[in-house]
Structures are given as structure tokens and as C-alpha cells.
């Protein structure tokens, strides 16, 4: 049996953030994290090749990266494809999802990866592939690799596999019939669950429904009130002063910045830029106002449609950013705005 492993520039021992633009390459044998994968697989499966690609390259040149990697795999013999583990690293997780999805479609082999529940790659790809529940950092490498390889070995050997909750991967929304031994009628099962619920005992529904956060729509502000208010500008489109002084990540952001726009009517090319890796930056770099419309808001200010513009604009990057990080950053920014007496804001994306 043969396997091929995909990892990013860090786990491929190329470098850290400074090497995130590393172009795809394939090496014979095991490199970096692929050695841990081989150790966990044992002698039954041989990791013949390691594919390495920088997270930024995959994020900014996704189609090109996938095309190149698929070309590397042409003519290679492999029975299973592994990617990661990606832990909580958003760009890495999304990259693992991208390439696993492409590989299974092109070559029809099983694909396995692992991510932390906060990784955006989970929600993007959980319905398309098996993604194991991973740790938050590389400290969980051994455990996460063991989960992938244990399942992978049984999978390619054709052994019996258990439901997602018992195997340890994220549910894919796939329902399958399970025959109980001894059999129990549905009416008996549901009554048993009802009694457990009434007694306050733990029970497991046979049709779990995921819970999602719901944010209520803010009430409209009457025009006569808006004409007296300062309005703040926020963006997840990555608009920052040229050079990105706060080093906001181009994807999977954990930082935000605030920038003084006192006396500025227009965000000029060469003075501002986008650091966002999720869209073509050419238009935004040529005219940053297309993402953060300061020029339009200044026009409204002059026309008296708004009372003014808040002294600072706030920026981060949305692509790959986890819900938890987005909520944390939003809470911090909102506290600043409330302290400054700001009651209205416009949030733009890409």
C-alpha cells in the first residue's frame, strides 16, 4: 500500500511566515511531518512522496497550486492521500481541504485530513471528506496523526468503520442505516430517549441538528438622526496603510488595526493597500476606496446626510478567519467605538 502526504511550508521545514509564498513541490520519501505520518502507519503503508506548498501561495493562487499538484500526482501509484494535520491554522486547513477535494475528484482515492473545530476549513469541507477532530496546535501532532492513520489503515483494508462520533471525525451529514443487535423498534428508542430527558439523564438523538449563531439585524436609523451622527468605517477587506504596519495576516487573521483618517478625503494608491489573500488585490491597491469607501462617505458628510466620520477606520482580514477570532476582534473594536460614542458603523468586505 502507498500513500502521499500534503503539508505546508512550516511542516515541510521550508520556513515560517516568510516562506508562506513557497510554490508547490513534490519530494520523494518523507519530509518533516510526513515522517511522523510514516511512523504511525508502520510497515503496512509506504509514504512514497511529500508535497509541500506555502499557505499564501495556495490561498492566493488556488487554481494554479491545485493544477500543479495534480500534475505531480499523474502517473504516481497511491492508495490513500493524507493532508495535515492543520490544527487551528486557518490557511493551512483551507489548503488541506482544497487539495484533498481535488485529489479525490481526480484520482478517486480516499483522502483524510485533521483540523481543530475552530479551523474554517472544517465548515468549508466537512461535508465532502473525512476531517478528524484535531488539537489546537502542533502539540497534538502525535494524537492527530494517530487518529488519521488508524482510520486510514482500516479504510484501505476494507475493515468495518464506525460512525463519525465514534471514529472521531466531523459528521458529514451522511445518514446510514444501523442495525442494532438485538434489534430495538423506533418507538421503543424514542420513548427511552423521552424518559431519559424527563429524568435529566444524558441521551443522544438519532438526528442531531447543528446549532448556529444568529445575529439580529440592527434597527434602521432615521435619516434625521443619522444626519447628526458620526459614522465609523470598518472592513474585513484588509485595507491598511502601505506596508501593513500592524502585520495583519493575509488570511486566518488574529490581528486588527485602526488608522487615523482625520483630514483625509480619499485613500490613494501607494499610501494604502490591501493585505487580503482571498481576492485579486489589483483593483483595491489601485484605488483602496473600492473596498473602504471613504470618498463616498466624505461626500455624504458634505451633503449633510451624516454628521461626520469617526476619526479612525478599523481593518482586518476575513478570509479563513475563525468565528471565534472574528467575534473576539469585533468585541474589542465595538468597545472602542462605544467608548468614543459611535452609534453607527459601516462594515465592508471584499
What is the reported pLDDT for 210? 66
Q: Which residue has the cell 439580529?
A: 216
For 55, the grid coordinates are 499557505
Whole-prediction pTM: 0.66
List the one residue out of 42, 73, 69 whose CA is nearest residue 53.
Answer: 69
Read off the C-alpha cell for 76: 504516481
Give strand pairing partners of 348: 235
Res 323: pLDDT: 78
- What is the rounded distance in angstroms from the CA atom of residue 96 to the CA atom of residue 126? 12
Tell me the Ramachandran region of residue 217: left when phi exceeds 0, alpha when psi lies from -120 to 50, beta otherwise: beta
Per DSSP, 212 falls in state -
Phi-psi region of 82 (alpha: psi -120 to 50; beta: other; left: phi over 0): beta
User: What is the predicted pLDDT for the residue at 164?
Assistant: 87
Please give the torsion angle defined by the CA atoms of residues 133, 137, 139 and 144, in that order, rounded to the nearest 10 degrees: 20
Ranges in the chain, pLDDT < 70: 210
Q: Given the C-alpha cell 446510514, which residue does it identify?
A: 176
- Quick one: pLDDT at residue 274? 95
Under 8 Å between Cβ of 277 and 251: yes
Choose among 149, 114, 8: nearest CA to 65. Answer: 8
> Which domains occur in the chain, in start order?
2-167 (3.40.50.2300), 223-348 (no CATH)
Q: Collapsing DSSP states into helix, strand and coil, what is residue 116?
A: coil
Q: Give yes or no for a contact between 84 and 95, defined as CB atoms under 8 angstroms apart.
A: no
Amino acid at each position: 500500500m502507498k500513500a502521499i502526504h500534503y503539508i505546508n511550508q512550516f511542516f515541510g521545514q521550508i520556513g515560517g511566515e516568510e516562506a508562506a509564498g513557497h510554490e508547490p513541490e513534490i519530494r520523494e520519501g518523507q519530509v518533516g511531518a510526513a515522517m511522523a505520518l510514516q511512523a504511525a502507519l508502520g510497515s503496512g503503508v509506504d509514504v512514497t512522496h511529500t508535497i509541500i506548498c506555502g499557505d499564501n501561495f495556495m490561498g492566493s493562487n488556488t487554481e494554479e497550486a491545485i493544477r500543479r499538484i495534480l500534475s505531480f500526482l499523474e502517473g504516481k501509484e497511491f492508495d490513500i492521500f493524507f493532508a495535515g494535520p492543520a490544527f487551528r491554522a486557518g490557511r493551512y486547513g483551507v489548503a488541506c481541504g482544497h487539495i484533498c477535494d481535488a485529489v479525490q475528484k481526480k484520482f478517486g482515492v480516499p483522502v483524510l485530513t485533521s483540523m481543530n473545530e475552530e479551523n474554517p476549513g472544517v465548515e468549508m469541507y466537512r461535508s465532502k471528506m473525512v476531517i478528524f477532530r484535531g488539537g489546537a496546535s502542533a502539540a497534538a501532532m502525535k494524537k492527530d496523526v494517530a487518529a488519521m492513520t488508524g482510520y486510514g489503515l482500516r479504510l484501505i483494508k476494507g475493515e468495518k468503520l464506525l460512525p463519525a462520533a465514534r471514529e472521531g471525525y466531523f459528521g458529514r451529514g451522511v445518514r446510514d442505516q444501523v442495525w442494532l443487535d438485538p434489534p430495538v423498534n423506533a418507538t421503543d428508542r424514542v420513548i427511552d430517549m423521552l424518559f431519559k430527558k424527563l429524568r435529566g439523564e444524558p441521551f443522544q438523538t438519532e438526528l442531531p441538528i447543528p446549532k448556529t449563531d444568529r445575529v439580529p439585524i440592527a434597527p434602521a436609523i432615521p435619516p434625521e438622526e443619522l444626519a447628526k451622527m458620526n459614522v465609523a468605517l470598518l472592513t474585513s477587506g484588509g485595507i491598511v496603510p502601505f506596508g501593513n504596519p500592524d502585520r495583519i495576516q493575509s488570511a486566518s487573521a488574529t490581528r486588527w488595526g485602526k488608522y487615523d483618517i482625520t483630514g483625509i478625503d480619499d485613500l490613494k494608491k501607494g499610501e494604502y493597500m490591501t493585505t487580503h489573500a482571498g481576492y485579486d488585490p489589483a483593483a483595491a491597491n489601485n484605488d483602496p476606496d473600492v473596498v473602504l469607501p471613504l470618498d463616498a462617505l466624505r461626500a455624504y458628510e458634505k451633503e449633510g446626510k451624516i454628521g461626520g466620520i469617526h476619526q479612525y477606520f478599523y481593518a482586518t482580514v476575513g478570509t479563513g478567519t475563525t468565528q471565534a477570532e472574528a467575534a473576539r476582534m469585533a468585541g474589542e473594536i465595538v468597545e472602542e467605538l462605544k467608548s468614543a460614542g459611535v452609534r453607527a458603523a459601516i462594515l465592508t468586505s471584499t
